Amino acid sequence: MSTNANDTLAHFIGGKLVPSTSKRTGDVFNPATGDVQRKVALGSVEEVDAAVAAAKKAAVDWRNASLATRTRILFAFRELANRRKDDIARLLTLEHGKVLSDAQGEVQRGLEVIEFACGLSQLLKGELSENVSTDVDSYSMRQPVGVVAGITPFNFPAMVPMWMYPLAIACGNTFVLKPSERDPSVTNLCAELFKEAGLPDGVLNVVHGDKVAVDRLLEHPDVAALSFVGSTPIARYIYETGAKHGKRVQALGGAKNHMVVLPDADMDLAADAAVGAGFGSAGERCMAISVLVCVGSAADKLLPRIKERMAVLKVGNGLDPASQMGPLITKQHRDRVAGFVDAGEKDGAKVVVDGRALKVPGHERGFFLGPCLLDDVQPGMSVYREEIFGPVLSTVRVKSYDEAMALIQSHAYGNGTAIFTNDGGAARKFQHDVPVGMVGVNVPIPVPMAYYSFGGWKHSLFGDLHIYGPDGVKFYTRNKVVIGRWPDPRFRGVDLGFPQNK
C-alpha cells in the first residue's frame, strides 16, 4: 500500500477498492512529523448506500454459509493477519503515532478477538429441552441480525474494528465499517486480507468518511445494528439516533479512569503502573489512567517515584525503537490537552512535571506533548472532571478509602478503574462497591480478554450489552425459539383454550 500526499484512500465495497466520487477528502497526517501523508475519501450518502447494498446482497448467502466454511475463513484471516501483523502495526504507527511496540500489542489484542470468533460453532449453539409438554420438544437458535455497521475511533485503528467485524461476520452477519478518518489505512489492509482469506465479496465493506457517512448509516433502513466506539457526546448521539430509527445499538463512550492507591501498596509497582497506564500511547487510550487517587500517606511515597520514572521517559517518533511515547493525533488535540494543564494550573493545581514545552529534535512540527503530572487537583476542576485523552496524570489526595470511593461513585464516567493495595479485604470491597465496568486489582489497565466482554458503566456506555466476547455474540444475533411436535393422532381436535402443559 503506497502512501504519499497525493494518494486518496478509497472505499472497499463489494470486495474491491472503489475510488470516491465525492469531492470531499480529509487529511491523514503523520503525527510525528506534522506532514500530510495522504488524503482519505469522505464518503457520500450514495457511497454508503452502495456499501449497504453490497452487504445486503452478500447477507443472503453468508447467513446460509455453513459453520465449517465460516470457521475456515476466519482461521485463514487470523493466519494472514498474524503473518502481516508487523505491516499492520507499522501502518498504524505511521498514521496514529503510537510507538511500534504498542502498535504490535494492539494488533495482538485484535488477533485474540479473531481467535475467539474462530470458535463460532461452539458460540452459536442453541439449547434444547425435550418433553416441554407431552411429546413436545423446544429448542432455541441464535441467528444473525443482518447488516451491521461499525463506527470506530482513531485511537485503536486496528483493534477496535476487530472487536466488531470478525465476531459479527462469524455470527453470519455482513458488515459496513466506517473507521476513523484520522488513521484509516490499516482498515483497508485488513479488509483486503480478509478477502484474501476467502471472505465472499460484500461481507465486509469499508466506507471512509465523517458525520455525513455516519448519519446515513444511522438512518439507513437496511442497517439492523450498530456498534460504536468513540467519545461520549457522539456515543450518546449514535445511541439515541440509531434507536429512533429502530436499530439495535451499542455505543461505547469516553472515560476518566481512577487509580486508587492505598498507603500499604507496593509503591514501586504502583509507580510503574501509573506511568505505564498514564503515558502509554500518549494517554490516548480509553483505559488510560487519568486520575491518581492517593489515600493518606500514599501520595508522598508515590509521587517521587513517579517523577523519577518520568524523568527518563523517551518521547519521540513511534518508529524509533528508543521511543516510549509518541505524539498526539493532531495539532488541535495536542493544544487542547495542553489547555487542560493550563486550566488546572490556573485553578490552583500544582504542575509537578510539565511537558508543555517539550520539543523533539528533528520533529519540530510533530504533535508532541511531554508527559505532565499534576498534584493537589480538586474535583471541581476541569482537569479532573473532563476526559483529557492525553499524557496528563492528575493527583487527588484524599484522607480515606471512603472518600476515594465517593469520588469514583460521583464521577460521570465508569469505564475502567484500579486499586493498588496489599490488603485483600480492601481490594475485595473495592471490586464489589465500585460502579465501573472494568476493575483492576494491582493491574492498571484491566482490559478483558477476548472471551470476556469489554464495556463501561454510566457515560462510558450507552446500550445493554458490552462489546466482543459472550455479550458480542448476543449483540450480533437474535434469539429464536422453536416448539415442535410431530403429528400424533392423539392430539387431534379443535381447542380454543390457551395451550397448557400436560
Site of interaction with ligand NAD (CB under 6 A): 151-156, 160, 178, 180-181, 210-211, 214, 229-231, 234, 252-255, 286, 387, 389, 415, 456, 460
Closer of 144 and 253 to ligand NAD (Cβ): 253
Q: How many degrees, rounded to 5, is the angle at CA 116 between CA 114 and CA 120?
A: 100
What is the largest distance, in Å, between two alpha-carbon atoms of the chain?
Answer: 89
Closer of 152 and 205 to ligand NAD (Cβ): 152
Query: Closest separation between CB of residue 138 and ligand NAD, Å?
Result: 37
Query: Closest separation between CB of residue 360 and ligand NAD, Å?
Result: 23
Closer of 335 and 364 to ligand NAD (Cβ): 335
- By CB atoms closer than 10 A (0-12, 13-18, 19+), residue 151 is buried
Query: Closest separation between CB of residue 102 and ligand NAD, Å?
Result: 14
**Cβ–Cβ < 8 Å for 110, 449:** no
How far is residue 405's CA from residue 414's CA, in Å, rounded to a whole number? 12
Amino acid letter, 231: S
Whether 286 sits among the annotated catalytic residues: the reply is yes
Q: Taking CB positions, which residue lies at the least distance from ligand NAD?
A: 230
- By CB atoms closer than 10 A (0-12, 13-18, 19+), residue 26 is buried
In the set 118, 171, 190, 286, the catalytic residue is: 286
**Cβ–Cβ < 8 Å for 450, 170:** no
Q: How many degrees, rounded to 5, is the angle at CA 251 between CA 277 and CA 256?
A: 30
Query: Closest separation between CB of residue 88 and ligand NAD, Å?
Result: 18
Query: Closest separation between CB of residue 43 and ligand NAD, Å?
Result: 11
DSSP state of 326: -
- By CB atoms closer than 10 A (0-12, 13-18, 19+), residue 9 is buried
Return the active site residues. 286
